A = this chain, B = another copy of it.
């Protein structure tokens, strides 16, 4: 009899273990907080119960779902496009930031900061139809390699976050990306990579012009910003695209501060969380002084705001798939 009970317990324990939806997370506070939150908002009759249509979870992309060092990956795409387009733009040899970029001098090329970045992105993204741009992104994302790891960029997604996305969807959450990155840069590959469909991607986007070319309608990308989905722009993008306040928000930098602030100041149970890049062995360690993905204010205010800091080093068993 005792052995039967032991066998049963063993079986139950094995089942529970097999059913762990977040196997790449260590059993530390963040995992426990996530699971406890999901349980309470999905439990019928709980005072924190949230109906299915309101179960919205938003995720930053760069540094939250995939890596972002030494530079946002979209920039590598833009750089590769500058090289490919250079023969059609002889003037770039003399014109910054393109001249330095073509010489491989990234430091000078980006000395102008955000403005230089934006000029490069505009010059390489605008003028194409949305279909041409989608093809350019698809070709690039399936072949280009990260400069130091040599991996495809889509191999540099975070396994714990893939599990988290699947876990939330299994609990009838709708998962959205809310990123400062370009909406049209993300859509061609995020469905396959994260299981997030194009209509659930919120991001920065440029002007679009509808016109007929040879009798066929096209949408042309214009060299102008329609929405900058960063910082204060994130709650704006959320309101515009989703139209309701998320229940959960995950980010990693001060660019996500307002998204978490907006999310967690809603009524009822809410969850805000920041991934802290502190694992120099398996990924990169950076926070308060980083140019890319700076996390400073978020670290200072997380405790007061009730946000969960995820230590990549301590809380993640595995980083990449």
Contact = CB atoms under 8 A, between A and B. Distances in A.
Interface stretch (A92-100, A102-110, A235-243, A295-303): A235-243
B217 A262 contact: yes
Interface in A91-137: 130
B183 A240 contact: yes
A187 interface: yes
A199 interface: yes
Contacts of A217: 235, 258, 261-262, 265
A197 interface: yes
Contacts of A233: 210
Nearest to A186: B243
Contact of A210 (B201, B216, B226, B258): B258
A216 B183 contact: no
A27 interface: no
A235 B216 contact: no
Contacts of A183: 240, 243
A240 B240 CA distance: 11
A198 interface: yes
Given A235-B217, A236-B219, A198 B265 contact: no
A53 interface: yes
Given A199-B174, A262-B210, A219 B239 contact: yes
Contacts of A216: 265
Interface string A27-69: 0000000000000000000000000010010000000000000
Most buried by B among A53, A199, A233, A241: A199
Contacts of A261: 217
A244 interface: yes
B243 A219 contact: no
A20 interface: no
Given A208-B236, A235-B210, A241 B130 contact: no
A56 B226 CA distance: 24
Given A210-B262, A217-B258, A265-B217, A199 B236 contact: no
Contacts of A201: 243
Interface string A229-262: 0001101100111111000000000000010011
Contact of A236 (B187, B200, B210): B210
A224 interface: no
A265 B215 CA distance: 10
A139 interface: no
Contacts of A209: 232, 236
Given A199-B242, A217-B262, A226-B227, 10 more contacts: A130-B239, A187-B243, A198-B242, A198-B243, A199-B241, A209-B232, A210-B232, A210-B236, A217-B265, A219-B235
14 contacts: A53-B191, A130-B239, A184-B243, A187-B243, A199-B200, A199-B241, A201-B243, A208-B236, A208-B240, A209-B236, A210-B235, A216-B265, A217-B265, A219-B262
